[in-house]
Amino acid sequence: MNVHVFDSNEKLNEAGAGILIGTVQTKPRAVLGLATGSTPIGIYEEVVKEFKRGLVSFRKASTYNLDEYVGLPAGHPESYLEYMKHHLFDHIDLPAESAHIPDGSAADPEEECKRYDAMLADAGHIDLQLLGLGHNGHIGFNEPDHALNSATHVVKLREQTRAANARFFGSLEEVPTHAITMGVGAILKAKTILLVVRGADKAEIVHRALTGPIATEVPASLLQTHPSLVVLLDAEAGRLFR
């Protein structure tokens, strides 16, 4: 495990974008696993900047997002598809058909999970999986539990997670109750995992996840078992690693 603590968000974003871009430069047909939320926004901004400077092309790459809310109508501004378009897809040359994200408006979400897993299996291993971290230690929307699901599945969001995400919606009631998430199987099969964590409110959970016991009650603790884990922390989230 490689843990880096950054004094400035700018440096963290450059490092994160550098790893993502480097993956695609080395392997133009790279399969990228992508995350949403506040954490990767600065990294995506940096990737777009470098793309516009002509330093990288995503023409042959493909992407698989970790998760999507269930039940939001197509085009809802808080859907993760809209997020990805806004922050990344609309600004780079990734072909639309190469960008994959679970369809949260599918009539049968369970079937949609199977379809997504079949696509992931066809894609082979994810080369680089970008992850943020939930306050309760979730990765993707794999919430703490006595057992975790390896495959893509429908999950009932914890109230803590809905409350944390209410800042993007008008009110808590508008936050969907369920999501589709990639399971820990596909995440742990990625060749390299890039975990990014920011903010004082995540200092304890990231420290516990990476140095405490491995337990499904802290899903991110499973990342300790991964042979190629890179962790980027801002100074506040990295307080306990100094």
Positions annotated as catalytic residues are 67, 136, 138, 143
What span, in angstroms and rounded, lies between the C-alpha atoms of 141 and 117?
16
In 3D space, the residue among 10, 190, 118 whose CA is nearest the CA of residue 18 turns out to be 10
Give the tokens for residue 7. 């004094």
CB of 36 to ligand F6R, least distance (A): 4
Cross-strand bridge partners of residue 31: 62
Binding site for ligand F6R (CB under 6 A): 35-39, 66-67, 132-134, 138-141
Shortest Cβ 101–ligand F6R spacing (Å): 10
Residue whose beta carbon is closest to ligand F6R:
132
Helix axes 80-87, 41-52, angle to 10 degrees: 40
Please say which residue, 27 or 154, places its beta carbon nearer to ligand F6R: 154
Please say which residue, 138 or 226, places its beta carbon nearer to ligand F6R.
138
Nearer to ligand F6R, 51 or 80 (CB): 80
Nearest-approach distance from CB 38 to ligand F6R, in angstroms: 4
137 sits in the region (left: phi over 0; alpha: psi -120 to 50; else beta) called left
